[in-house]
Structure 1
Amino acid sequence: MKLSVVIPAHNEEGCLYSTVSHLVSTLEAEGIRHEVVIINDNSTDQTPGICQTLADEFKTVRHVDNQPPNGFGFAVRRGLVEFRGDAVAIMMADASDDPKDLVKAYWKLQEGFDCVFGSRFNKNAVVVDYPWHKLVINRWANWFVDKLFRLHYNDVTNAFKVYRREVIEGIQPILSHHFNLTVELPLKAIVRGFSYAVIPMNWYNRKTGISKLKIKEMGSRYLFIVLYVWLEKHLSRGDYHRSKYLVPTKKKLNA
């Protein structure tokens, strides 16, 4: 199985090189066949040049310049069109995600799951320097989604997730323009019948650059996507469920 990693990058000159080089070295050490697709999301700093440097240095790295308008959702959606692997992971450019967790998610996917979701709040997870105000909002928002969908998954808003290619094909169309995409993808995958596993993961607050998440701007967008998928679950009569379009594998007949 070839694993693609999509990394959206908007003005990440201070951390992009170290993030990608560490990721590639970790995957190579584990013998995981992979590609890293950096989506330069209309950066105005040195990010484009760093993307080219990484592509020149590492044969498994390539980059794509996204067209305006910029936004996390737009960048990830471009990556989900561009990736060539059998499965795709979404990771952040700011080194907040641990490459070792990607290795764990890859092997968990090999057990037969369609998706693997990371949780920063499960036992054995490590969270470093999470801003307290964002933590309060995060815990409330995830409690709300958990109760609404009865998921028993406590970190839906986390970006770190891995999907098989057929999941990405099965959750179209993707609507989100911004960080609400982190909620749209897993909720659609679950509602449409794809299997998933949850693993504890480590998270580290960025050391350089500025967070692109604007909480005041995103609240209504998150709520829109959550309610949109909730309505699909309860009113669509299963029209978008995987059972409606995936052809069952035929069993071999005994000779």
Structure 2
Amino acid sequence: MKLSCIIPAHNEEGCIRKTVSHLHTILQDARIDFEIRVVNDNSTDRTGEILEDMVKSIPELVAVNNEYPNGFGFAVRKGLETFRGEAVCIYMSDASDNPKDVVNFFRTMELGYDCVFGSRWGDGGQVFDYPWLKRLINRLANYFIAVLFQIKYYDVTNAFKMYRAHVIEGLKPFLSHHFNLTVELPLKAIVRGYNYTILPNSWTNRKAGESKLKIKEMGSRYLFIVLYCLIEKWFSKGDYRKKDNEVCGKIQNKELKR
């Protein structure tokens, strides 16, 4: 199974080289068949130049330009339209994600899961230098989503997740233009009956560049997607559901054999 790592990048000249190189080294050492697909989201700094230079020495690196429209969601969607793996993960360009988590998630997906979701706040999760106000809003929003959808997953807004290619096809069309895509993908996957598991992952605040997430601008966009997925859950029940018990049984048997 080949893994595609999609990295959206907008004005990340200060960290994109280190982010890609570190991820590349870890995946190579793990002997995973992979590609790293960086989507340059109309950067006005040297991000594009750096990627062009790196492509010359890293055969697994693919640089894609997202010319218009721009934004985090559009950049990720561009990657989801062009990736070549049987599994795909979204990886942040600011080095906030840990490449070792990518390996762990991939090995878990090999057991047969459709999706592997990251959790930074539960047992085993780690968070470094998370702004206190952002943390408060994050915790309240995620508990609200968990209660609303009656799920035991309390980090839906976490961008670090992995999906099989057929799941991505099954979640289309995408509606989100911005960071709310990180909520649309898992909620649709859950509502539409794809099996998933939750693993701890770590998050470290960026050391270079500027965060692209603007909380004031995103509130209504997140709420729209949450309500959209909730309406689908209420009114489309049975339209997408798979034989979850059969699939989960096969996964449990694989885990027991290990």
TM-score range, shorter chain: over 0.9
Whether the 8 Å contact between 1:170 and 1:242 is mirrored in structure 2 is: no
Counterparts of 1:171-250 in structure 2, within 5 Å, are: 171-242=171-242
Structure 2 CA distance, aligned partners of 1:111 and 1:133? 38
User: What 5-or-longer segments of structure 2 have no aligned partner?
Assistant: 244-258
Identity %: 59
Structure 2 CA distance, aligned partners of 1:105 and 1:208? 26
Q: TM-score, normalised by structure 2?
A: 0.93
Counterparts of 1:60-209 in structure 2, within 5 Å, are: 60-209=60-209
Cα RMSD after superposing both structures: 0.9
Structure 1 residue 70: Cα displacement = 1.0
Structure 1 CA distance, aligned partners of 2:241 and 2:222? 22
Indicate the residue corresponding to 1:28 in structure 2: 28
Whether the 8 Å contact between 1:146 and 1:153 is mirrored in structure 2 is: yes
Residues paired across the two proteins, number:
243
After TM superposition, the runs of 4+ consecutive aligned structure 1 residues lying more than 6 A away are none
Structure 1 CA distance, aligned partners of 2:69 and 2:208? 24
Partner amino acid, structure 2, of 1:10: H
Structure 1 residue 236: Cα displacement = 2.0
- 1:103-137 residue CA offsets vs partner (Å, 9 max, x unmatched): 00000101111000111001111110000010000
Partner amino acid, structure 2, of 1:101: D
Structure 1 CA distance, aligned partners of 2:69 and 2:211? 18
Indicate the residue corresponding to 2:247 in structure 1: none
Structure 1 CA distance, aligned partners of 2:50 and 2:144? 40
- 1:5-47 residue CA offsets vs partner (Å, 9 max, x unmatched): 0000000000000000000000000000000000000000000
Structure 1 CA distance, aligned partners of 2:202 and 2:17? 20
SS of aligned partner of 2:56: helix
Structure 2 CA distance, aligned partners of 1:46 and 1:13? 5
Structure 1 residue 237: Cα displacement = 3.8
